[in-house]
Structure 1
């Protein structure tokens, strides 16, 4: 059987570090020596190549320019490889996974993000299992076609749809969750694939890699006692085009007239306001309670069950793609890559 070609893209993060046992400091891992350091990779039925950023990025410094760079690398190498594994710091991995899902239109090959909580050379590291299984998943084929044809995130025995994830723990190996959508694959003695949850395989179309992300967006998290100065500081930010409004429960917000009036004025001036829940799971249902009915009447965008990470990156993508102002609400409320109901 023909071996699959997998490209490993190292952007930065803990997974690419090894401890210098002389100094105790962490140093960058040499990915050209990958198989030497992880001989188990020889057992995988695939050929692995690696590409590393010239200057690895701490994921806290990740931004839309880096997302476009990663998408460009995948697009440039798309016809040379059967799958891609992106090694990334865990802190902003869900943002990057979400962004890549939008930037890579008509994706028909796996793009799997993974990382680790401990460096690859640490005695108790989670890096080896995450890396080995992510590569194995990227190489999965059935009847000549990739099993996974979307952007996924693999961490601690589970593959999730990337744009459905959020980081939930800074210390546990089970650092990510997808509370509004089931995981796609579970790794145990065997890999269990939940085919019913995979994105439907469509007829093969040419990959389209988008290159524009508009970062004139912001997040406003509602809290009891939020005052006018805070609202004004955000709504009056120069060039602001879209606001992700994190509301209570199923999309509820304060009923004070001054608050609603400020939101309404901003919408009338052209600002897109997207209603997402602060809760870890569940969905916005505008109009279900009186405290969200006014938002619905104002034409606030219904974020449904989208994550904040996916909402931010989807807004950047739509703004960068030149979606007209009149169509923005309709397109946002439509699932483009399986990111929402």
Structure 2
């Protein structure tokens, strides 16, 4: 039987073509993608296109758009064997991370991809990314989907969505998964590392959880900065601090006093690293002990994109009983090492 894939087009470079009169990039009608890539007619699966009314630059994709994508997947979950989300590259890792938490009990492939060059460009990477993503989205064995999680495919690499980050705006090989191995690579054959794939708990039925709090602030620490401004934002619900190395910050009483004041005002403080690879280890150095003193929460080796979207999903979510810290430090979707 032919597998059915729903292609959700949100916007981004992959759906652009050059206006040869102005030289500007303009979105084309993605419903006509089969004319742009006639090879799609050779695929051994049926592809249905569902486009956003207005294609969006990925910098305009946020919580409301994540909910729209999740709703489309939820509404058509029983009608399709897999889902492919075409997305601009700049914020694709945020969307992949958010969807991984919103789509509970997922047992079908949800693949995100995009491109660095427009689909009509002579040297485009769009065609390979699109065609191979469709293969991954329709990959079944013994009538069972091989991939049952949110993944990101780009330049021959399949990555766990909530482990991915964009590290290059220049090269086709634009994404990394620094703290988790690749789920697969495409070459002559489509390779999958099956032992690395995520599987939802057996008792968890598929549902879409749309909860996304926007009471989250992300702040990157830099040498010499003053923390006095933190004391002026006492209404912050969750503050994610991106600090040095394995979890260090300025070692002075002023730092501790400001952070303690925030904690007394009820702010949850999450700590993630500025390093691309590795994670947080409170107490490894003296300059990280302050976080133990104030009861901060370790972001482990989560990417910043993942920590932000996970905090948005978990904070004040009625589906999670208990304290925020308890659920934030739980490995919910394979997003952190334990």
TM-score, normalised by the number of residues in structure 1: 0.95
Cα–Cα, structure 1 residues 332 and 201, in superposed 2: closer, same or farther, change >3 Å? closer
Residue 54 of structure 1: SS of its match in structure 2?
Answer: coil
For residues 204-235 of structure 1, what are the alpha-carbon distances to aligned partners after superposition, in whole Å with 9 as ceiling and x for unaligned?
743110122111111111111011344335x4
Aligned partner of 1:15 in structure 2 is: 14
Aligned partner of 1:73 in structure 2 is: 72
Deviation of the 1:326 alpha carbon:
5.4
2:320 is aligned with 1:309: no
Structure 2 CA distance for aligned equivalents of residues 262 and 202 of structure 1: 41
Aligned residues: 337
Cα–Cα, structure 1 residues 202 and 43, in superposed 2: closer, same or farther, change >3 Å? farther
Structure 2 CA distance for aligned equivalents of residues 328 and 299 of structure 1: 12
Deviation of the 1:202 alpha carbon:
4.6
Q: Is the 8 A contact 1:134 1:154 kept in 2?
A: yes
Structure 2 CA distance for aligned equivalents of residues 129 and 174 of structure 1: 12
2:278 is aligned with 1:282: yes
Deviation of the 1:325 alpha carbon:
9.0
2:181 is aligned with 1:185: no
Deviation of the 1:148 alpha carbon:
0.4
TM-score, normalised by the number of residues in structure 2: 0.96
Residue 245 of structure 1: SS of its match in structure 2?
Answer: strand
Residue 153 of structure 1: SS of its match in structure 2?
Answer: strand
For residues 40-80 of structure 1, what are the alpha-carbon distances to aligned partners after superposition, in whole Å with 9 as ceiling and x for unaligned?
11222100000110011111111111111110110001011
What residue ranges of structure 2 are gaps of 5+ in the alignment?
none
2:290 is aligned with 1:297: no
1:166-315, aligned counterparts within 5 Å? 166-200=165-199, 202-203=201-202, 205-233=204-232, 235-236=233-234, 239-315=235-311
Cα RMSD, aligned residues only: 1.6
Structure 1 CA distance for aligned equivalents of residues 293 and 126 of structure 2: 49
Structure 1 CA distance for aligned equivalents of residues 296 and 323 of structure 2: 13
Q: Is the 8 A contact 1:108 1:204 kept in 2?
A: no
